[in-house]
Structures are given as structure tokens and as C-alpha cells.
Structure 1
Amino acid sequence: MSFATRIATAEDIPAIAALMDRAIAELQRAYLSDTEIAASRNSMGLDTQLIADGTYVVVEEAGRIVGCGGWSWRATLYGGDHNPALRNAAPLDPAKDAARIRAMYTDPDYVRRGIGRMVLAANEASATAAGFCRAELMATLAGEPLYLACGYEPIERVEKMSDGGVPVPGVKMGKTLTG
């Protein structure tokens, strides 16, 4: 098996959206009820600003996108295009703010193969090269074990990640980046 990481393009959007849909539906089952999974779509999903900014990567195997995720120098911590209430395009200051690790997903057929770590490492390196010394993210309960294993520490547990009616828990996490 050979995985390759590259910067995502607008042409990748349909494949990324399909991967996200499968990951949201399948990988949270051990942590959330069906109702919570449905509600989680309000706070998760594709943020095309990351693709436009050139800070979103995909991992491919034989031309198939099997993982994705990005980082941002903008204030938005999480949320997709469909939820403008969660978005804030204000630029961050690398001298005092943490880069945002955003929208990480692995194809359910490819979990436990190091793809999440590949995406995270690529984004941490890029954020570090841009001058950021710290990264923060909002983890789903399904993603929390990966981030803990990669050195992220919980900052705050939230009961409700979105403005929808059904509460969906998450964990704001952070890490000091090293060059």
C-alpha cells in the first residue's frame, strides 16, 4: 500500500464531500446515537475556504482519496460551508494565536492505517512553516483518541458543538508545535 499526500484542489470537492459523508455516518457509531450523528452534520463538513487558501490536503491511494484535512490561519475553529454561524474568516496572528486544524476525515475502509497521522503531520508542518507555534482543534469523540496519541491535550469539553437542537459533544484540544 502506498499513500501520497497532496494539496487539495476544487476538482477534489465531490470526492472529499463523499468521503466526509461516509466518515460522519460510520466512524461515530461507537460514540454517538443515530440522532446525534445526524445532528453532528450541522457542525461538521466541507469548508471550501481551506481549499481556496491552499491549506487542505488529501491522502490518496491509487488515485482514490482516502483521507483529508487541513489547517487554517483564520479564526474559524470548526464547521463547514453550510453553517455560516460557525465561521469567522478573520486572520490569526501567528505570534499569539494558534493555527486551526480543521475538517479531518478518513475513509471508513482505511481507518487504522496511519492516514490521520499523515494528514495531521502535513498540516502541523505547514502551520509551523507559516510561523505558528501552537495548533488547536475541535475533536469529535471519535477523533479524540488520535489527537491524544499525537500529543494534543484537552482544553475544554463542550456539550453542544452547534446551534442545532440536539447536543453533540466535542473536545477543544491544543498542542505546541515544534519545528
Structure 2
Amino acid sequence: MSLTYRLAQLSDIPVLEDLIALSTNTLQAAYYSPQQIAGALGTVFGVDSQLIHDGTYFVAETGSITVACGGWSRRKTLYGGDQGKTGPDPLRDPRTEPAMIRAFFVHPDHARQGIGRRILQLCEDAARQAGFQRLEMIATLAGEPLYHACGYAVLERFDIPLPNGHRMPVVRMGK
């Protein structure tokens, strides 16, 4: 399988939304209830178009098929898609604040093949080139093993309140 990696474009959003829903409903199902997944889709799990505008969101493709996405951010937002936004998203100071690893999703047929790890490396390299010394993320329980294997340490565990009244346990990790 030949993969290419590139920066996402706004025209990718419909494909990314479908990929996010498929990835979430399949790969998160062993860790979260259907109610948690339903409450998280669109708000916690969704496309953040600011990442695309900032040129910090990557897609992996095989041929013309998008099989994964993920990015990093120099912005204050910790997680979530456009539907969860409530206002401006100011920049972080790379001298004192970490860049945020954000919104990683892999097509279930392509999971555990190193694609997410490669996107993570692209993100880490780009964040370092932008002057960031530290990286953090809000990881799902499903993503925690990958990030741990890539050198991230658990900083905190907490629950995200969801719009449907449920709560979703997540892990803040850093490197």
C-alpha cells in the first residue's frame, strides 16, 4: 500500500467528517459507550477548520482515498471540532506553552499500520520548527497506548462533559 501525506484543504472537510464518524464509531467502541460516542461526535470528535486554515492538519491517502488525519495546533483550544467552538481561539506562546496534538482519526481498515505514528511524527517535527519545545494532547482511551509508545506521559485523567449529559474519560498527555 502506497501512502502519501499532505496538508488538509478546506475541500477535504466532507471526507474528513465521514472518516471521523467511521473511525470513532468503530475504533472507540471498545472504550466508550454508544451514548458517549454519540455525545462526542461533532463536538469533541469533529473537524476543526482552524487547523486547516493554520496549515497544521495532515491527511494520509492511498490513491485518492483518505485513510487517516491528524494535526497539531498553536492555538489555545485543547480538543474538539467547529461545532464545539464558542469564541476566538488565541495563539499559544511557544516559549512558555506546549503545542497541542489534535484530532487523530484512522480508517478502521488501516488501523495499527503505523499511519497515525507517521502523522504524529510530522506534527512533532512541524511544531518544533515553529519553536515549540513541548507537546501535549487530550487523548482518548483508545489512543493512549499509541501515544505512550511514542514517548508521551500521562499528566492527568479527567472527564469531558458531553452535550447529551454523559461524560467521556480522557487523558492529558505530554512530551
Deviations 1:10-66 (A, max 9, x none): 111111111001011111111111111112223221100000111100001112110
For residues 127-178 of structure 1, the C-alpha deviation after alignment (integer angstroms, 9 at most, x for no partner) is 0000001111000111111111111111110123545410111001111xxx
Aligned-residue sequence identity (percent) comes to 47
Supply the AA of the counterpart residue of 2:71: G
Distance in 2 (CA, whole Å) between partners of 1:57 and 1:109 is 19
CA distance in 2, matches of 1:73, 1:9: 18
Equivalent-residue separation in structure 2 for 1:163 and 1:59 (angstroms): 30
SS of 1:24 mapped into structure 2: helix
| SS in structure 2 at match of 1:148 | helix
AA matched with 1:155: L
CA distance in 2, matches of 1:161, 1:6: 33
- Unpaired runs of at least 5, structure 2: none
User: Does structure 1 residue 77 correspond to structure 2 residue 89?
Assistant: no
Unaligned runs of at least 5 residues, structure 1: none
What residue in structure 1 maps to residue 48 of structure 2? 47
Task: Please say if 1:56 is aligned against 2:78.
Answer: no
What is the RMSD computed on CA atoms of the aligned residues?
Answer: 1.3
Which residue matches 1:138? 138
Distance in 1 of aligned mates of 2:122 and 2:74: 15
Counterpart Cα distance in 2 of 1:128 and 1:162? 32
Relative to structure 1, the CA distance from residue 162 to residue 95 in structure 2 (aligned partners, 3 Å threshold; closer, same or farther) is farther
- Give the total of aligned pairs: 174
Q: Which residue matches 2:16?
A: 16
- CA displacement, residues 74-107 of structure 1 (integer Å, 9 cap, x when unaligned): 111101100124x651111111100011111001
TM-score computed with the length of structure 2 as normaliser: 0.95
1:75/1:88 contact within 8 Å kept? no
Once residues 161 and 154 of structure 1 are traced to their aligned partners in structure 2, the CA distance between those partners, rounded to angstroms, is 20
Structure 1 segment 123-162 matched on structure 2, within 5 A? 123-162=123-162
Instruction: Map residues 77-116 of structure 1 onto 2, 5 A cutoff.
Output: 77-85=78-86, 89-116=89-116
Other structure's SS at 1:6 match: strand
> Does the CA-based 8 Å contact 2:36-2:162 persist in structure 1?
no
